[in-house]
Structure formats: C-alpha cells, structure tokens
C-alpha cells in the first residue's frame, strides 16, 4: 500500500467510511485558544482544516490533521500548545471539525481515524497503513450492538 499526501481518488477508500461518520453530526469551530470552552469533553474524531488567508487570491481548504481522542477538549488544548502553534504560525484560517462518538471503543476510533487519514491524506499526520477496511468497520458495528 502506498501512503501519500492529498485526497484519495480511489472509490474503495471512500466506501470504507461508515455512513454514521459521513452523515454524522459534525460540528465546526474556529481553531483558536479562546474557543476551547465550546469543545465538549466527550470522545470522538476531529479534523483540523486549513483555509487559505486573504493573501492568497482564492480561498480553499483542506484537512491538515485528523485524529481521534477520548477527550475532545483536552486534545484541542494539547494541539494548541504543540502542533497547533505551528499551524497557527502559517497564518491560515483554521477550523476544528469534530464529531462526538461516545459509544465507540478506543480501538474503533483509531480504525476510523486511519480510514479518514487514508482518504484525506492530511499533511501533518504520521502515515500508517491498515490491512483491512470495510470488514473492520463491519466488526465495529457488530461489537457496538
């Protein structure tokens, strides 16, 4: 499996994202230290999205970092003090997109994170292949019942 930066053009990769993630209740908030109080304490997935600033002639966005956590607010604060500083130094208008997934086990969140990394190829994430996709997601659904 080749690991790359940038969005996947493979339908197979996109089909591995479960419906509850594709169509879930994603929230979006400006990525800034003053917004930490608005991030819930619950577990979930998150995407830090970089948006070009006014010095670029057109505005576009892309996922910069994708992660999972058992505590969204804690992780948000950690990012702002480490990788987040580097992102903010780029002078991008970033957003923190998240979905709460309290009923998922940590291993399931990690699998979902890996699928999203493979689909979106964010530039900051460490690359790690997974050997199975849809079958793993089906097992997640079965074990959550």
Structure tokens at 24: 């879930």
Residue spans per domain, the chain: 11-143
Neighbours of 124 (CB within 10 A): 16
Nearest to 37 by CA among 82, 9, 90, 74: 74
The span from the CA of 136 to the CA of 108, in Å, is 9
List own/partner pairs for 32-38 with CB under 8 A and 24 or more apart: 33/80, 35/96, 36/73, 36/76, 36/77, 36/80
Nearest to 46 by CA among 85, 86, 80, 12: 80
**pTM confidence score:** 0.80
pLDDT computed for residue 94 by the predictor = 86
Q: Please, which residues have CB within 8 angstroms of residue 144's CB and are 6 or more apart in sequence?
A: 103, 104, 108
pLDDT computed for residue 15 by the predictor = 93
pLDDT computed for residue 56 by the predictor = 74
pLDDT computed for residue 127 by the predictor = 56
Phi-psi region of 139 (alpha: psi -120 to 50; beta: other; left: phi over 0): alpha
Tens digit of each residue's pLDDT, the chain (145 residues): 445 578 888 899 899 999 999 999 999 999 888 999 999 999 999 999 988 777 778 888 889 899 999 999 999 999 888 766 666 666 678 899 999 999 999 999 999 999 999 899 887 776 555 554 444 454 454 554 4
Q: Confirm or reject CATH 1.10.10.10 for domain 11-143, answering yes or no.
A: no
């Amino acid at each position: 499996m080749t690991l790359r930066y940038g969005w996947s053009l493979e339908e197979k990769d996109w089909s591995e994202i479960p419906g509850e993630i594709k169509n879930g209740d994603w929230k979006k908030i400006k990525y800034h230290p003053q917004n930490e109080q608005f991030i819930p304490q619950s577990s979930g997935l998150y995407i830090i999205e970089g948006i070009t600033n006014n010095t670029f002639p057109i505005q576009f966005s892309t996922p910069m970092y994708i992660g999972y956590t058992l505590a969204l607010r804690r992780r948000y604060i950690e990012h702002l003090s480490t990788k987040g500083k580097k992102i903010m130094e780029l002078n991008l208008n970033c957003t923190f997109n998240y979905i709460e997934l309290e009923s998922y086990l940590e291993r399931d969140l990690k699998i979902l994170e890996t699928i999203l990394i493979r689909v979106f190829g964010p530039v900051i994430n460490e690359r790690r292949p997974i050997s199975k996709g849809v079958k793993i997601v089906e097992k997640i659904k079965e074990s959550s019942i």
